[in-house]
Amino acid sequence: MARKLPATDVVVVGLGWAGAIVSHELAAAGLSVIGLERGPWRDTAVDFNIASIADELRYSRRQELMLRNRQNTCTVRNSPSETALPMRVWGSFHPGNGTGGAGNHWAGITFRFQPEEFRLHSHLTERYGKELSPELTLQDWGTDWEEMEPFYTRFERLAGISGQAGNIKGTLIEGGNPFEGPRSEPYPNPPTAQPYAPMLFADTVRNLGYKPFPAPSALLSQGYTNPLGVTMGPCTFCGFCTNYGCANYSKASAITTVMPALMRKPNFTARTNCEVLQVTMDNSGKQATGVIYADASGELFEQPAALVIVAAFTFENVRLMLLSGVGEAYDPATGRGTTGRNFAYQTANSVRLFFDDKNFNPFIGGGAIGMGIDEFNNDNFDHSGLGFVGGGSTRVTPIGAAPIDSRPVPPGTPAWGSQWKAATVKNYLSTMSIGCEASSYSTRTNYLSLDPTYRDPHGRPLLRITFDFPENDRRMSAFCISKLSEIAKAMNPREFYGAGQTGHWNSAPYQSSHVVGGFIMGAEAATSSVNKYLQVWGVPNLFVIGASAFPQNPGYNPTGTVGALAYKAADAIVNRYLKRPGEMLSL
């Protein structure tokens, strides 16, 4: 039996980017807010100290910042006909743990989605009609660029994003991304300086007729104080960035941008090492009453609240809804239900280049330091007759070649011994990669559900992931690899090798933590779980915020859109819901 605590105005599940932003906005509006975080308290000075953070074994190999698999994991399979098995070590993706969430160890690339992405099904249907594959279950988001743009701007100001605008109020700006939607203002900070490999790539693609631009980066190019009064410093290109916290307060995250201001508010309380087990509902099932959580000792508590905000990682957002009986669980056989529907991922493609006459100093870098082009992304090119839709962001972003994992050798090199050592010495300084982080389009048989066999330490079913790359995305991957290979050949390396998605999804190697969907937003309750304000259809005091709301994933990193959605939801709660509690859109 859970011990019942005094009620609060708002309880927020998760204190990563989305949870921290919403908590701050609602606390600033005068509401009493309690934030519950499954993992430990994270603090830059203590956890990411300059003397200890550059530890590849601890953070990259042993995954200290990731959720512990013994605490909670997922089961995986490629199709509904298979039996799912648990992930005992994180591979394909890296869920975060603790305040800041996955934002502590993210790379920092911060794109805005393009205007047509928010009406993707309508846009592609209008342009290609019957050429669209019937396997795809693409949807419009129920919102549009005009509604989203101000909240992208707010997130970029909060995080101090560094970049070069390509389109300000409809005027194209030289040196920026010509394919981005019209912005209301420039990035808060100028682009970062660039190492040799991105500049070599930029010169090459420019000669090929493409328009390179600096990757929009949450690694700050200069000192910056955000609108909450929190000051951050410039990136030092230390090379220990992706999978690591930042010792220099240079990589924007919830703990470097929001939490310092949030923790000063007397009406906000953070409770860490508290795992939320269930959202509680009244007898009608139409009103959330709070949450039940377990603390580090295993003691159960019930936290009543007038508003419940679920803002965890995609997997836990969906799992909590399934465990709490919110919405109807999706059934791929009938297409009924929305909870778990339209799970999507990211389609990773790359080409590795080996040179004899280059020194890239690959230990210099950062997760979002680089140059890119967008000519082959999303619907920026004509897909007529190609047999697929979608595409990817093509970039060179040297994240830092740490000593254990960065041993680039050509295929066919022995895995150990003197020849491997000689190849490592020969190639370490003179190897670079071109990546293409591409779209993942939803299908009927890619979805999230509760596993019937495997359970967590609390006895709850694990989340089951059913996912495979659809034929559309495999064809798109082959196209992207062909374009990367053309660029690679023009750079005149000794040799190069491409790696795309030609077979089934394999959960073992890391690919991306950009998992999306499962509790998607839209204009109709019949095909979505939340409305454009992230309010759950039929349960008006419950909001579910995060990448779980994406109906599909374009060829961009999701974090900027997660931050924009968090601001969008908070704005709707403060300026609409609190004035007139209830459904903000008609069912």
Residue pLDDT, tens place only, 276-303: 999 999 999 999 999 999 999 999 999 9
Residue pLDDT, tens place only, 118-156: 999 999 999 999 999 999 999 999 999 999 999 999 999
Nearest-angstrom CA–CA distance, 54 and 239? 9
Establish if 356 belongs to a structural domain.
Answer: yes
Nearest to 370 by CA among 117, 69, 109: 109
CA 126 vs. chain centroid, Å, equals 28
Nearest-angstrom CA–CA distance, 547 and 518? 9
Taking the complete model, does pTM exceed 0.95, yes or no? yes
Confidence of residue 60 (pLDDT cuts 50, 70, 90): very high
SS3 state of residue 548: helix
% of the chain residues with pLDDT over 90: 97
Provide the pLDDT for residue 143. 98
Nearest-angstrom CA–CA distance, 346 and 350? 13
Cβ-contact 67, 100 below 8 angstroms: no
Nearest-angstrom CA–CA distance, 486 and 419? 30
Q: Give yes or no for residue 509 having a pLDDT over 80.
A: yes
Residue pLDDT, tens place only, 436-457: 999 999 999 999 999 999 999 9
User: Rounded to 5 degrees, what angle do the CA atoms 109, 114, 115 make?
Assistant: 150
Establish if 358 belongs to a structural domain.
Answer: yes
Q: Where are the beta strands (DSSP E) in 319-402?
A: 341-344, 347-354, 371-373, 392-396
Q: Give yes or no for residue 13 having a pLDDT over 90.
A: yes
Provide the pLDDT for residue 583. 95
Mean pLDDT of 490-501: 96
Residue pLDDT, tens place only, 226-279: 999 999 999 999 999 999 999 999 999 999 999 999 999 999 999 999 999 999
Instruction: Please give the C-alpha separations between residue 406 and each of 60, 358, 399, 410, in angstroms, as whole numbers.
Output: 12, 17, 11, 13
Active site residue 105: no
Q: Give yes or no for residue 416 having a pLDDT over 80.
A: yes
Cβ-contact 329, 312 below 8 angstroms: no
Pairwise pLDDT comparison (130 vs 318), residue with the higher score: 318
Cβ-contact 21, 563 below 8 angstroms: yes
Establish if 585 belongs to a structural domain.
Answer: no
Give me the amino acid identity at 552.
Q
Residue pLDDT, tens place only, 364-375: 999 999 999 999
Establish if 173 belongs to a structural domain.
Answer: no
As beta bridge partners, residue 94 has: none
Tokens representing 310 are 């679920």
- Total domain count for the chain? 1
Establish if 174 belongs to a structural domain.
Answer: no
Instruction: Please give the C-alpha separations between residue 391 and each of 141, 169, 375, 476, in angstroms, as whole numbers.
Output: 19, 25, 9, 6
Nearest-angstrom CA–CA distance, 221 and 215? 12
The CATH number for 527's domain is: 3.50.50.60
Q: Where are the beta strands (DSSP E) in 295-412?
A: 300-310, 341-344, 347-354, 371-373, 392-396
Nearest-angstrom CA–CA distance, 68 and 283? 35
Residue pLDDT, tens place only, 543-571: 999 999 999 999 999 999 999 999 999 99
Establish if 171 belongs to a structural domain.
Answer: no
Nearest-angstrom CA–CA distance, 250 and 270? 24
Nearest-angstrom CA–CA distance, 481 and 497? 10
Cβ-contact 252, 239 below 8 angstroms: no
> What phi-psi label fits residue 329: left (phi over 0), alpha (psi between -120 and 50 degrees) or beta?
beta
Give me the amino acid identity at 230.
V
Establish if 75 belongs to a structural domain.
Answer: yes
Confidence of residue 363 (pLDDT cuts 50, 70, 90): very high
Q: Give yes or no for residue 587 having a pLDDT over 80.
A: no
Nearest-angstrom CA–CA distance, 569 and 557? 20
Residue pLDDT, tens place only, 337-346: 999 999 999 9
Q: Where are the beta strands (DSSP E) in 254-299?
A: 268-271, 275-281, 288-294
Provide the pLDDT for residue 586. 81
Nearest-angstrom CA–CA distance, 401 and 275? 35
Active-site position among 24, 94, 105, 514: 514
Establish if 587 belongs to a structural domain.
Answer: no
Q: In what order do the strands lie in the sheet with 461-466?
A: 85-86, 74-77, 461-466, 447-455
Provide the pLDDT for residue 271. 98
> What phi-psi label fits residue 145: left (phi over 0), alpha (psi between -120 and 50 degrees) or beta?
alpha
Mean pLDDT of 59-65: 93
CB atoms within 10 A of CB 584: 15
Please name the helix (run of DSSP H) or strand (run of DSSP E) that holds residue 516, with its range, or none: strand 516-518
Provide the pLDDT for residue 545. 98
Q: Give yes or no for residue 410 having a pLDDT over 80.
A: yes
Mean pLDDT of 460-469: 98
Residue 87 sits in which domain range? 3-165+179-577
Mean pLDDT of 55-79: 94
Provide the pLDDT for residue 517. 98
User: Rounded to 5 degrees, what angle do the CA atoms 392, 509, 62 make?
Assistant: 120
Confidence of residue 1 (pLDDT cuts 50, 70, 90): confident
